[in-house]
Homo-oligomer: A and B are copies of this chain.
Amino acid sequence: MGLAGHEVVAAVLQVRAGSLQVMLWQRGKEPHAHRWSLPGGGLGDEEDVETSIRRQLAEKVDVRQLSHVEQLAVFSNPARVPGARVIATAFLGLVPSDIDPVVPSDTCWHPVDSLPPTAFDHEAICARARNRLAAKLSYTNLGFALAPPAFTISALRSLYSAALGYKVSATNLQRVLSRRGLLEPTGATAPPGPAGGRPAALFRFVSGEMRVTDPFAVLRPPSTRSLGP
């Protein structure tokens, strides 16, 4: 194993059954036996932290279809884990809602709203992940990482509502994302439900790479003429 005293962990989030959930595994041994823990582990000699967390998620829990991975922060409190000192680089990982990864028997998903007893500082890491996701949904195209390849606007609305924690209007969601050029219609439609109703058009995200779409909320650079240096 590579660098001693350093680990990488990830809060992998997905919207499942209408709520935002995080993947946790239950520890079998001390310390913190039976508590729930984020996946992760040591850093290899030849890998950077992002490569490492992707490898470990793929090896340990078969999460290969991450639609987005980004660094959150370093957690370095000397007492964060008992025993020899370990500092952690924490990541946010996202999985589209149509994927159901095969996970080991000690691993399952938990709503971020009601976490079971967690190990170490993993609750704080989950909270950080959640906040980062909510913030970026507002000013980037990160919705692509929660959504399947094609979706109706109302399906997208549920994803955003679950991730943000409050109801989002389908009308305005479509308008905002369309005006920013993030959505395009696939041309196909979804069949209506048993109760009838107009068939919903299917959309896709134009890009699968994260991009900032609302860079300057205020204090924009002057628009037309230069005001000088």
A residues with CB within 8 A of B: 2-6, 43, 45-50, 71, 73-74, 76-78, 85, 87, 89, 135, 137-139, 160, 164, 166-169, 172-173, 176, 214-219, 221-222, 226-229
Contact = CB atoms under 8 A, between A and B. Distances in A.
Nearest to A166: B221
Contact of A222 (B3, B5, B160, B169): B169
A197 to B, nearest CB: 19
Copies of this protein, total: 2
A217 B46 CA distance: 40
A138 B219 contact: yes
A43 B135 CA distance: 31
Contacts of A139: 217-218
A217 B180 CA distance: 13
